[in-house]
Amino acid sequence: MWLESFYLAMNSLMLDTKRVVIQKNDIPTRKFFNKLGLTCIEVEFMNCFSLGGGFHCYTSDIRQRGDMTSYFDDKVLEEHDARVREKLEKQKATWQAYN
């Protein structure tokens, strides 16, 4: 069941303001980041999900320069959140239909 979660792939690693490391076959996440103008570096990482976590969880910041800044457009994030809520509602309805 853990492979069915669409949240796992959002555990990505920002290398800088333009590059992000993502799971290789995660098309929705790639499209999302590309829409934000980011370059995706796709890496095969699927087998590690069974241990919990993704790229960000398996790495640790050693040093960070500058202020904490969001690189995301609020409108794009709101659209993404709406799609996530819609998927959750569909999953909930499906689960309730079987129980």
As a whole number, mean pLDDT of residues 19-25 equals: 86
As a whole number, mean pLDDT of residues 11-20 equals: 86
pLDDT at 44 > cutoff 50: yes
Domain count, the chain: 1
pLDDT at 5 > cutoff 60: no
23's CB contacts (< 8 A; 6+ apart) are 8, 9, 12, 29, 42, 43, 44, 45, 46, 54, 55
Please give the pLDDT value at position 38.
Answer: 93
pLDDT at 90 > cutoff 90: no
Residue 91 has phi, psi (to 5 degrees) of -65, -40
pLDDT at 68 > cutoff 80: no
Interatomic CA distance for residues 72 and 80, integer angstroms: 11
Please give the pLDDT value at position 2.
Answer: 45
**By residue range, what is the domain housing residue 25?**
2-98
In Å, how far are 19, 32, 39, 88 from 49, measured between CA atoms?
22, 21, 23, 20
